[in-house]
Amino acid sequence: MGFSVGIGLTNDCNLSCPHCYRDAGSIEQLTLAHIATICAHLPVDAMGFGTGENALNPEFPAILELLHARGVRLSLASNGYSLMALDDAHLRMFHDVELSLDFATETRQNRFRVAGNWALVHAATARCRALAVPVSILATLMSVNYQEMPALVALARQHGVHLRVNAYQSVKTDEFRLSYAQFWHAYRALFATAEVVSCAEPVVRAAMGLADAHSPCAHTSIRFNPHGQVIPCVYWPTSEDMPTIADLPRLGATVLQSRDFAQARRVPPRAATCKCQGGCASRRALAGQLDAHDAYCPWVRGDDMRLDWQPAPAVDLMRARNVCTTIVR
């Protein structure tokens, strides 16, 4: 079994969204040679593109051609720009794609991102569907939109697409961080209005009564940021001594034994007997509390959280089990 690789070919973007985690300093670009090195030294089954708008990397078409020729399954998260910039042949190389939409109305979406983004997302959705490329809505669950989950479900249903939800991580600011009450309100509302395709958000998974509450990050999922660093999760705090793509010829798959990957997999001793099993390691790392319970752990608070949910028919979406995320229908 190979790795599911998440990668940001660039931190360049046509937008400057207030909740974005990307490093907006100097522009960094991964190259075709970098991708060839990754594929030569790791067993890559799938590759999902995120972080910036990947079509702003000048080698993006060539990179897609290399990966497509190797049989690597491809996915892309975009604000709409990249999906409109690619030609039909390259767009059809994707197994599935996602469009970022955090609000269910044009006014709120455009106010949060930029005027015209709502129309761009809908144009890109129509184009992908016309080309038979499976498309989903991708929403970041935040303190400013946690009450919109039912409306986003309704919007996804209207367009005949899935909805994927990521809980906001405080990489650069706490401004959009969910409170404990907001977090659980949102997931109750989400599951009350939609069927669950998959859930890999550890603490939510535990509240659903599912096994394997640990995150997929640092296990079979691996990330590369635009600086070329090898990281267990896109939200994981970085440092200058982390391994890079240049280290892969020497390390190969043993890169997963490096310090940060080991820390991301480790269950905090104080949470070893808790249902949360530490929950999201990146959330703990960003808070400087790697040895604590997940901030949204209900059981450490004495709250016997149980979520009612209904399963959706199985569907093969790449990000279903390679990031801490929830997909509903």
Structure tokens at 281: 């390691």
DSSP state for residue 257 in the 8-state scheme: G
**How far is the C-alpha of 238 from the C-alpha of 247, rounded, in Å?**
16
Asked if residue 279 lies in contact with residue 183, where contact means CB atoms within 8 angstroms, the answer is no
For residues 186-196, give the mean pLDDT.
Answer: 98
pLDDT, the chain, mean: 94
Q: Are strands 44-49 and 73-78 parallel, antiparallel or unpaired?
A: parallel
Residue 225 maps to a domain: yes
pLDDT of residue 87: 98
The total domain count for the chain is 1
pLDDT in tens, 102-146: 999 999 999 999 999 999 999 999 999 999 999 999 999 999 999
pLDDT band, residue 221 (cuts 50/70/90)? confident
Residue 87 maps to a domain: yes
- Cα→Cα distances 315→14, 127, 134, 206, 306, Å: 32, 21, 11, 22, 25
Higher confidence at residue 47 or residue 216? 47
Taking the whole predicted model, whether its pTM rises above 0.85 is answered as yes
Domain that holds residue 182: 3-255+305-328
| H helices present in the chain, as ranges | 32-41, 60-69, 81-85, 88-91, 106-112, 117-130, 149-159, 180-193, 202-207, 248-251, 259-265, 281-286
Residue 279 maps to a domain: no
Asked if residue 88 lies in contact with residue 131, where contact means CB atoms within 8 angstroms, the answer is yes
**How far is the C-alpha of 34 from the C-alpha of 63, rounded, in Å?**
10
Residue 278 maps to a domain: no
Residue 43 maps to a domain: yes
pLDDT in tens, 8-61: 999 999 999 999 998 877 899 999 999 999 999 999 999 999 999 999 999 999
**How far is the C-alpha of 262 from the C-alpha of 242, rounded, in Å?**
12
CATH number of the domain within which 109 lies: 3.20.20.70
pLDDT of residue 7: 96
Residue 275 maps to a domain: no
Residue 187 maps to a domain: yes
Residue 288 maps to a domain: no
